[in-house]
Every structure is written in structure tokens, then in C-alpha cells.
Amino acid sequence: MKIKIMMLLLLFAATQARPQAAVSFAESFTGNTMRVDYFHTGTASEEHFSVDRILNDGAWAGSRTVLADELNRGLYFYEVTDVATGVLLYSRGFASIFGEWQSIAEAKTNWGTFHESVRFPWPQQPVVLTISKRDAANEFVPLWNTTIDPAARNVNPASLLSSFSTKTLIENGDPATHVDLVILGDGYSAAEMGKFDGDARRLIQALFEVEPYKSRKADFNVRLVETPSAVSGVNKPHPGSFRRTPLSVSYSAFDSERYALATDNLAIRDAAASVPYDAMFILINEQTYGGGGIYNLYSTVAVDNKFSDYIFVHEFGHSFAALADEYYTSDVSYQIPEITVEPWEPNVTALLDPAGLKWKELVEPATPIPTPWDKEAFDAFSYEIQKERRELRAAKVPEARVEALFARERQTMLEMIDGMEYKNTTGVFEGANYMQYGMYRSAIDCIMFTRDKQEFCPACRRAISQVIDQYTK
């Protein structure tokens, strides 16, 4: 009984605070990257892990000083500890397609399996890899661990000899002190590699026109990896346009016609490893509005849509900084749970503890909390637009018709917001994270809220800067 109580106390302690790494990179790691590929299997109520392979993913591109993750973001968290001493060597938060899949109705009755990877500096000695997940109180609880001996026969130290063509768009310095962004493309034929290059340059330019990326452009390196397809375009199940492409990008993820994800993790990781990378973006050679972003995995964007620049910046907010969506009127596939705890995302709050507001220092003392805005009129208009959107998609009209609807929506929303009293105020505005009531954001408008906004709200800007710092210190 005493042993059982002690184990429970140790587990409780592990969920209350993340240990900080106090190790020298040179003493603990080589200069390479260890990639652990594994299968993540389960239902809405259970999950299991199984190692696929462990291999050398190229030179380590991450920070050599910020080894422990202090941002506390992501649904999952992985830690690498030394077997002999138990000392934490490396940790990072992340999210996954499996974690999102668990939140849809299908997962209640069916099993799902997804291929995933975690990457960390190649250890010199045996380590324990532990993956934890947030519980109902949003505390991380260990789910699975495995011991890895870098000298074992099942660990492949061979360097990757890439067969992909690569190109550098922006190079500002050593990968160890910069954010290294790799851009892949799917649905581009070999004859369209020039278009891929042009699309990437246009979208990267759009990213660096927005703060805080604009003022911190010198902290980034950007490289392309070409993955030509046999055909142009990607898979679009809703309209019945089917394709098979090298990275297997597909619209209709979780049966949402605009949600585009790629589930061939092995192909994506092997292509990305052709260059040093910390963050990843996949360009989709399509006009149909769509994209997606998963924290510390990748973002996707349809490049030929009228709103592609906006989607690129918005989705990178998800994958790079773990920003939550601040909108709540669009259709989503997730089953939204009752609000009982503070969300972990840095740009939304349940306001359960107003005195402990995440962005408290950004709010002027005289600002009312919650902060009033013309929510009723805004919601009524937004829901009408969503109704029209569903009707247009059901009718399978040309994409230009949908773009025209979004343009009208944007113009009307701009006019509505322009007349609101607190339009330029940092506060606590109700409606965020797919919830019409009980969830709040820091500004009336933001890139994470509407398509009409060309800048991030203060909470988002701060959250993005914190991630940049994690890679560049």
C-alpha cells in the first residue's frame, strides 16, 4: 500500500511541473537529429503507441541552449531523459492528427491509426522517451515511454541521401540560432516547379509583412524541397475530384470540405529532412479554399485562392505558435466539450480566473472585463454567410462564386467593426475557439478571427514572439 501511494505521489508531482534541462549540449548530444517514427492507435477513449523505426534525420537544426520547453503548449508533450541519471535532456510540446481525430464522432465507435514522429538531438547515451497528454484538468500525464540506446541495432545512424531538389529562399545564418522553415509542395507536376517557387516566394513575402514576423525576418531561414507529382492538383473528395500525390494531401479531413491534411507522415518527413528544419509548410496546388495547421507538425494552404495569403499566415499561427482559432461561427467537425478548465492555447481564455488573465499586462486598467462589442449583430451576419457558403458548396459552384461571397463578407465585417467602440482596444471579447459563449479573445478582430484582418491581436503577437525566442536563443 505504501508503495502504491508513493507511486501516485510521484505521478502527481510529474503532472504539476515540467523539469528544466540543465545539461550541456556538447556533453549530451552529437550534432545529428534522432527521429522516432511510431504508430499512434486508438479510439476516443484510449490510445496506444508502437515504435516503427528510429533513424538519423540529418544535422540538428534546433537551438542548442533552449533544450527544455517552457511554453506549456500542445495537447501532447515529449521528454527525453538520461537512463543512467534520470536528468531531463530535451522536451517539447506538440499536437497531432490523432489528437484531433479523437475529438470527432467517428472515434467513439471506430479505431484509428496514424503515423507520427518526434525529433530531438541525437543522444550520446541511452535515453528514455516519454510522451504525455493533457488530462481533464489540462495537466500533462505520462501515456507511454520507451528506452532508446543510440548504439542498438534497431537504431539507424546512416545519413539520409536525399533524392529531392532543394532551394534556399532566405538564409540569415546558423540553423542553431534561427527558425528554419521548410516548404514542401503537393499537386505540382514536374513542369510546375517554377510555379511552386513563385507561390512560395509570394506567400513568404505575405508572412513577413505581418508582425511580429516583419520585425524578426532576420531570425528566419527558408528553404524549398521539390516533390513533383505525376498530375496537377490534390485529392478533393467532396466534389469527387480524386488524386494520388507524393505527400497524399487531401481535402475533406474529418469530413470538413475545407480542411486539408496529409497523413503520409513517412513521405513528408523524409522529404523535409533534405534540409535543416524546425517548422514545415505544405503548399497545395489548388484554388479551392482550404488549409490546415497542427502545432509542431505542419501547415497547409491552397495557393491559388483569392485568400491564400491570409490562409498561409493564419494556418502558420496554428502550427508554429499553437494559436487557437478565434472564430466560432464556421462549421467544424470537432465535438466541442463543456468549458470546465482554462484552455492551454495562449490567445484564448475561459475567463474562469479574471485576475489571472493570460494577457493581463496588455490590458489597460480602465478597460471593462469582459469587454463589450456588437456581438449579436456580428453573429447574425456571420451565421447567414455560413448558410450561403454551405448552399454554394452543395451546389458545387465554381470557386469564384465562393470567393465573391467571402469578399462580400470581408467588406461588411470591416464596416461593422470600424464602428465599434473598442475596435482598437486590448481586452476580453466573448466568442472564440469555436464557442459562441464562455470563451474569449484579446481583440475584436485578429488574423485568427476573420479574413478581413491583416494583423494579429496582441496576445497572438506575443505568443509568436515567444516561439521565435525558443528557436533563436
C-alpha grid cell for residue 57? 534525420
Nearest to 28 by CA among 118, 120, 122, 92: 122
Q: Report the run of H or E that residue 54 belongs to, with start and end.
A: strand 47-59
* pLDDT value at residue 410: 87
DSSP state at residue 421: T
Q: How far apart are CA 458 and CA 29, in angstroms?
A: 37
Q: How far apart are CA 418 and CA 378, in angstroms?
A: 12
- Judge contact between 83 and 126, C-beta under 8 A: yes
C-alpha grid cell for residue 147? 528506452
- Alpha-helical (H) ranges within 121-226 are 193-207
Residue 120, CA atoms < 13 Å, CB-side half-sphere: 31
DSSP string, 300-345: EEETTSTTHHHHHHHHHHHHHH-PPP---SS--SS-PPP--S--SS
Alpha-carbon distances, residue 455 vs 254, 337, 452 (angstroms): 29, 29, 9
Nearest to 279 by CA among 305, 318, 311: 318
C-alpha grid cell for residue 156? 539507424
C-alpha grid cell for residue 190? 514536374
DSSP string, 346-394: TT-B--SSGGG-TTGGGS-TTS-SSPP--HHHHHHHHHHHHHHHHHHHH
Degrees, nearest 5: CA angle 116-120-266? 30
Q: How far apart are CA 37 and CA 116, in angstroms?
A: 6
Q: How far apart are CA 123 and CA 149, in angstroms?
A: 9
pLDDT, one tens digit per residue, over 102-139 is: 999 999 999 999 999 999 999 999 999 999 999 999 99
Phi-psi group of 433: left, alpha or beta (phi > 0 → left; psi -120 to 50 → alpha; rest → beta): left
DSSP state at residue 422: T
* pLDDT value at residue 89: 98
Instruction: Map out the domains of the chain with their CATH numbers.
Output: 2-156 (2.60.40.3250), 166-321 (3.40.390.10), 354-467 (no CATH)
Q: At what angle do helices 308-321 and 193-207 cross, to 10 degrees?
A: 70
* pLDDT value at residue 160: 85
* pLDDT value at residue 470: 97
Would you call 454 helix, strand, or coil by DSSP? coil
- Judge contact between 301 and 283, C-beta under 8 A: yes
Alpha-carbon distances, residue 401 vs 23, 34, 225, 448 (angstroms): 57, 47, 33, 23
Q: How far is CA 56 from the centre of its chain?
A: 24
* pLDDT value at residue 337: 65
The C-alpha torsion from 151 through 154 and 157 to 158, rounded to 10°, is 140
Q: What is the mean pLDDT of each run of 10 residues along the chain (473 residues)?
A: 38 50 89 98 97 97 96 97 97 97 94 98 98 96 98 95 96 98 98 98 97 98 98 96 97 94 97 98 97 98 96 97 91 63 96 95 96 93 90 90 90 91 95 94 95 89 98 94
Residue located via cell numbers 532508446 = 148
* pLDDT value at residue 22: 66
* pLDDT value at residue 453: 72
